[in-house]
């Protein structure tokens, strides 16, 4: 799929690149240092934005928003390129950062605060998606400090997968997250309550292919080609989930031949349906900027939307950017497109 092109020339912008305090790249970086650094994505974006001719200042944010005041006063940015996924160690506080930008009338990249709030709460998002007729696995929420009980939601049946209600990037997700009985369910819920300090969501485990659909846009979103995380190298169907090790441990990925790329052999109707589901979910949750939809395709051809992920990782070698590249949008143009979407976004007044 070829996305519409941006104009070749664009205005030189003053950009504040906002990242977590520990992920701001050092001033002088060698290619060898940047290749495996935790701040690799931040460095790639900094280099790309400057390569596009923009004036860029990188700022690290931890638990104090006042650090932004002198940066804003000095640079007077046209836009903030927002890479924050948490504030003060709390994942779902990212919505409050962009709310702050809107109160200050500062433009920013990525999703608006309401969309972040709806998508980050997986249980609330699933209810909204169900209202719009978008199929997601049956689920039940287990709140902290509430007594444990057997599954009782309609349609819920083992095996189940247990995850945090609001954490992202597969935090708390491991092979032990797929449970086959009540005892294992209770054990995993207690782990999330005690170690992750979050409510737990248990949903039907959907066996099948792990598909991703990237989306760019505000009112008229455009989808990227369907991407697939190949998990066939893992030992059993129930172990084929996108755990934290699957996503971030390079040695583990190599050992189990875990790769991602264009989804191969999809029937046209399945690819079209994945595209339709992704667009519908994006609009139902009020997302803007860019997002990735995670789906499962069952052996009998049924599609389930697992999660909506606003502001996914956009490193040049990550799934989102690679999918854009396959659609004829090289990385610098993708970054420019994200900037333009941020500049055009207008909060509801």
Confidence of residue 29 (pLDDT cuts 50, 70, 90): confident
Instruction: Please check whether residue 104 is in contact with residue 299, taking contact to mean a CB–CB distance below 8 angstroms.
Output: no
Average pLDDT, the chain: 91
> What is the spatial distance between Cα 17 and Cα 59, in angstroms, rounded to a whole number?
6
Confidence of residue 238 (pLDDT cuts 50, 70, 90): low
pLDDT (0 to 100) of residue 170 = 67
Q: Residues of the chain with pLDDT > 70: what percent? A: 95
- Judge whether residue 3 has pLDDT over 60: no
Q: What's the pTM?
A: 0.92
Four-CA torsion 181, 182, 187, 190, nearest 10 degrees: 140
pLDDT (0 to 100) of residue 222 = 96
Q: Residues of the chain with pLDDT > 90: what percent? A: 73
What number does CATH give the domain 206-310? 3.30.470.20
For the residues 162-175, what does the mean pLDDT come to?
A: 81
For the residues 179-183, what does the mean pLDDT come to?
A: 96
Which residues, 6 or more positions from 287, have their beta carbon under 8 angstroms from its beta carbon?
A: 111, 112, 115, 119, 215, 221, 308, 310
- Judge whether residue 6 has pLDDT over 50: no
Tally of residues, the chain: 349
Which residues are registered as beta bridge partners of 216? 222, 290
3-class secondary structure, 123: helix
> What is the spatial distance between Cα 306 and Cα 136, in angstroms, rounded to a whole number?
6
Which residues are registered as beta bridge partners of 212? 227, 294
Q: pLDDT, tens digit, for every residue of 31-61?
A: 777 777 889 999 999 999 999 999 999 999 9
pLDDT (0 to 100) of residue 262 = 96
Least confident of 8-22, 201-215, 285-299: 8-22
Confidence of residue 167 (pLDDT cuts 50, 70, 90): confident
Of 316 and 244, the structure prediction assigns the larger pLDDT to 316
Q: Would you tell me how many other CB atoms lie within 10 Å of the CB of residue 197? A: 11
Least confident of 1-5, 63-67, 226-230, 279-283: 1-5
Q: What are the boundaries of each domain within the chain?
A: 14-109, 138-204, 206-310
């Amino acid at each position: 799929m070829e996305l519409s092109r941006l104009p070749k020339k664009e205005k030189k912008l003053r950009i504040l690149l906002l990242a977590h305090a520990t992920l701001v790249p050092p001033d002088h970086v060698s290619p060898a240092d940047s290749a495996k650094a935790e701040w690799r994505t931040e460095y790639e974006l900094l280099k790309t934005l400057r390569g596009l001719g923009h004036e860029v200042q990188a700022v690290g944010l931890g638990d104090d928003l006042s650090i932004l005041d002198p940066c804003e006063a000095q640079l007077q940015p046209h836009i903030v390129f927002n890479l924050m996924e948490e504030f003060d160690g709390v994942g779902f506080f990212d919505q409050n950062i962009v709310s702050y930008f809107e109160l200050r009338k500062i433009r920013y990249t990525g999703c608006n605060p309401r969309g972040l709030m709806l998508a980050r709460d997986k249980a609330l998002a699933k209810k909204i998606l169900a209202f719009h007729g978008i199929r997601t696995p049956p689920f039940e929420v287990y709140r902290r400090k509430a007594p444990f009980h057997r599954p009782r939601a309609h349609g819920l049946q083992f095996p189940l997968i247990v995850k945090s209600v609001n954490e992202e990037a597969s935090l708390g997700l491991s092979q032990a997250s797929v449970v086959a009985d009540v005892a294992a369910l209770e054990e995993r819920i207690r782990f999330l309550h005690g170690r992750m300090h979050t409510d737990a969501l248990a949903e039907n485990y959907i066996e099948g292919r792990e598909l991703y659909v990237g989306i760019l846009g505000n009112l008229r979103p455009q989808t990227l080609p369907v991407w697939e995380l190949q998990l066939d190298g893992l030992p059993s169907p129930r172990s084929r989930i996108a755990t934290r090790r699957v996503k971030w441990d390079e040695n583990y990925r190599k050992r189990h031949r875990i790769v991602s790329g264009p989804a191969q052999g999809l029937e046209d109707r399945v690819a079209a349906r994945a595209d339709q589901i992704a667009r519908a979910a994006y609009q139902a949750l009020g997302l803007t900027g860019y997002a990735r939809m995670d789906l499962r395709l069952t052996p009998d051809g049924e599609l389930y939307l697992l999660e909506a992920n606003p502001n996914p990782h956009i490193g040049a070698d990550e799934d989102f950017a690679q999918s854009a590249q396959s659609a004829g949008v090289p990385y610098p143009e993708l970054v420019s497109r994200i900037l333009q979407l941020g500049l055009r976004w207008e909060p509801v007044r």
